[in-house]
Structure 1
Amino acid sequence: MAIGATIYKANLNLSNLNTHHYADFNLTVARHPSESETRMMCRLVAFLHAAHDDLELTKGISSNDEPDLWQRHLTGEVVHWIELGLPDEKRIRQACGRAEKVSIYTYHDNKADIWLAKHKASLAANSKVKVFHIQTASDSALEPLLQKTMDISCIIEDEQMHLSDAHSHLTIEVKARI
């Protein structure tokens, strides 16, 4: 029998001082069996960083036709395609062909640097694409916030993101790379 997704509830309170976006989001997050806890938490970080009332979590890692997050018009047309990790050029072209705007969030320092060096010229030439890097103290830095039901407050100021719950507080950076 196949292992199913693990379901998490995330109640997120956002105060983005850069864009003056203040909102509460109640999300149900499905973590695919092949997705690490760190990657799932990075999806939430990307969600908070790109927050919009119409932004949605998708099937993500379990689908080749959808990004990790997206924002769509009421017509179903994709406004913002958000990838997490180190997508290949084919995946980036697919995203650019289907969306008005594409954001890529990387999160493994050394791998992200190598990936960016390889793709920087083609990414910089495409005005639709922006690349951000989620900088944490370690790969497991976000895991103290991980619970089956999460209540997380987030304050974004400049490139810093302050995340806290009843037991933990941490500061990470989300840096624009392109």
Structure 2
Amino acid sequence: MSLRKRPWLLLIIVGILLPAPAIHADDGLGFNDLPERIRNQLFDLSRRCSLLGGNAGNPMDAVAFADFDRDGMPDIILDENRFACDGLRPGAVCMQPGCRTYVTLSQDGRWRPVFDVAGSYCIDFDRSPPDLITIQRNFLADGSMNIINIRYEFRRGMAFQRGLDTCEGR
């Protein structure tokens, strides 16, 4: 296959070989800088808000950044609980079983979904790198519910549970 006959192939090869633009943890990322998957999730939340008769607020209110894996690049947390939809109760735009929190790590200029959980979160910035603490509901056999908070650390592109914790004071 000749590159003269297929010049578009050269563009693809060059695009693969060029390094991705550097993103640093202190960079202020905006909506257009987010991975397409997260932008689509925010569009879906906005659409559900409108369909239910609400007015979507700033979708970036549901997004936070922290360098969980200490690579100098921001990692992304999308919390549906924090999506503002004026005119509706909090969480009304979430699908069953409830609002979810999604964590996406940056790795070598690419975005990699790590995990998601039904619930919310807080971040322990007193640790370096910071730890994520999820806030989840645990339903018991008798129909009652308790809140369980699990601390996570991130290494080599994966999330590791470090045990139970609390979000008090964070």
Structure-1-length-normalised TM-score: 0.27
Q: Give the strand-richer structure, 1 or 2.
A: 1
Q: Which has the higher contact order (CA 8 A, sep 6+)?
A: 1
Structure-2-length-normalised TM-score: 0.28
